[in-house]
Structure 1
Amino acid sequence: MGLVDVRSMYVSCERVFNPQLRAPRVTVVLSNNDGCVIARSQEAKDRGIAMGTPWFQLRDRPDMADVIALSSNYELYGSMSEKMMSLLAQHAAWVHPYSIDEAFIILPRDNATQVARAIQVDIAQCLGLPVTVGLGTTKTLAKIASTGAKDHQPFDGVCNLAEWSETQVDAVLNKLPIDEVWGVGRRLSERLRAAGVATAGDLKRCDPAWLRRFHALPLAQTGIELAGTPVIDFDDSPTDAPKTMVFSRLMGTRATGAEDVAAALTAAAHPLSRRLRAQGMKAAMITAGVSTGHHDEITHGAMHTTGMMSPTASTREIAAAARAAVPHILDGVAYSRVEILATGLIEDTGQLDLFADASGDRLALDAVLDSLPVGAVTIGTSAMDDRWGTRRAMLSPRFTTRWEDLLTVKA
């Protein structure tokens, strides 16, 4: 089992297309609306810039004058992630994306380290991304090995615990704090420490039956995996389909008045509908609305729930249901957040509703929306400006998803 992880994914993607950002430049990537630091180059980490630090606290400090801050270029990062997953599929029979910058893979045990080195070289040459690979007999041990591959230079980016003796692995587990074990959160780690389980080694030696009674099955599975027996499904797929889906965003510009709020709700319907279709789901109920900030002088939330005549993933229908919240707003109130919640989800079996537009108009529109980059084609007036999108004042070009942003090479 292996875990492939990109070092500082967001910063690394930016550096591929902009060599001026490479070491020793101190580079950070900011969250939505250019709020807080969510990605740091190694130089930024060495400078002491912490994750989650608000940018306004850093930008005017004399000792941070050389720090380069960029808005989150999610289109670029998502595209590079997809390319990386495709490359991994050429090296491993099974690939399961775990996050935008991580993927679990299954490799033959006899040459896993050699294949991991080949993965490093291939991704570096084809995409320019630096990756580390943690290897172990289970997903939990691979996750621990991944941390070692990133933090310890002698490993040169690849750590294979499956090649170590049990004594050597135990030495690592006995030093690893319980709160650094994959899947053990802060509150659970506090309970475990109180029960005398302070390290990963302690957890490994616990009786799985006791762990299950103490917390739940996942904790027992973690303990078994630390002992070297794989019990967590490789694809980590949930047994049940999702029951809800939500899209929530802090708007780049506040929405005031019926026209503004309607446009913001329409814009928010696009990504939610697209996500439903991507997962093969339809929603029976749509709850949508806008709200003010918690610290605003006037706080208010305008919400409305619409039961759909038949479950749908149509952008047009979900946008219409979302706009039903407009009559609930207050005059003169500036709303800062838009949210749409889809509930009563069912799988899209392709069966047509007797009352639906069987001519395929909605399907054709959604097919066009899904075939193009997000925002390229929209409905209503939501695309006339980008006020309702996230504010990204320091956005780099979307090199891999927009024709006009393609790099130009001159001889």
Structure 2
Amino acid sequence: MNSPLRSELTRYLRTETVGGSILLVAAAVALLWANSRWSGAYTALRDFVIGPSALHLNLTVSTWAQDGLLAVFFFVAGLELKRELVVGELADRKKALLPIIAAVGGVVTPALITLAVGWGQPGIEEAWAIPVATDIAFALGVLALTGSRIPAGARVFLLSLAVVDDLLAIAIIATVFTTSIAFGWLLGSLTCAVGYWYAQHRRITSAWLYVPLALLTWYCMHQAGVHATLAGVLLGVLTRVRPDPGEDAAPAVRLEHRLQPWSAGLCVPLFALFASGVPINGDVLGSLLTDRLTLAIILGMFVGKITGIFGVSWVSVRLGLATKPSGLGFRDMFSLSVLGAIGFTVSLLVTELALEGTEQDKAKAAVLLTSSAASLIGSALLLRRGRVHQARVANDTRPRDDNGGATT
């Protein structure tokens, strides 16, 4: 990776570190607020309806956070995906193969385990999708805080894996949670997106054109019955990522610089604030290990993610289909796989789409518990691996993999 790309990756990780910390605070505030004597105020604010009814946008505050604020998050994710595919790590097929294969394993395995454990339970026909997504902000935040001594290849691998993972989760949201489509509105959304692409192709730079096009794309997607956050991904991947001669930075890079702090520091934490307020009572706590649907989500997220990411990666490397990132051994890969079990933003989003009432509260509690466990265990493993790598550097030896061979 050349130095401009490395600088861009470093900036991305720093933003996500701060965003992950704010996200954690927002989730903690939501839990405390929803379980305090002021819980009525929390529920009233979350369910308060706002927006123009003439445009059929009289939505609750929680829905605005889910459909509106997360669209910004997914737009930034789309920009990052496009950049990785065109000029980043995923542009090199050999380097891209391992995180792509690992992401597929990390989506399919949790889904299968959740279905197997929860088969026959009410809501499982959609709840199987809850454990499939890795939270980019949270996972990268934990890695940056506790894995600073791990080789840089770990950050690139986790970022690439999480981006592909979220792309697959987005595809699931588009197919599983779209019951009926208003094709006229969908055509309108696609027409606006084509207009956005054409403006990029013509090198138009005016925000007075792009902002209305983006809002119209989102609105038409919402009216079409397709989850509106998909509009963010669509516009992100249509944004130009290669700078023209004499251009300081491509539009995708400029937009990431402007929007990512808002996405990581405001949009995602506000969504977490209104999505994480689970009433923790005896029924919810007791269900974590006794309710089959809840247990299916926990096992899918934790066991499924770890075995899916690490197992597929191990097999791919052993068969010679892919190569490990520079400087990383299989124990490092296992530690990163544990971070892959951190499912927060998208998992909570899918929970709200898939379940209702008490079942939704139980599933949210399962997501929060599993993500917390994965964060703590992953942090402990990364700290241990960091000490190993530091000792190797202090002894002036090349990093070696778990078989004793040099990895560089």
Using the size of structure 2 for normalisation, the TM-score is: 0.24
Higher normalized helix content (fraction of residues):
2
Greater fraction strand: 1
TM-score under structure 1 length normalisation:
0.24
Structure possessing the higher relative contact order (Cα contacts under 8 Å, 6 or more residues apart): 2
The structure number with the bigger radius of gyration is 1
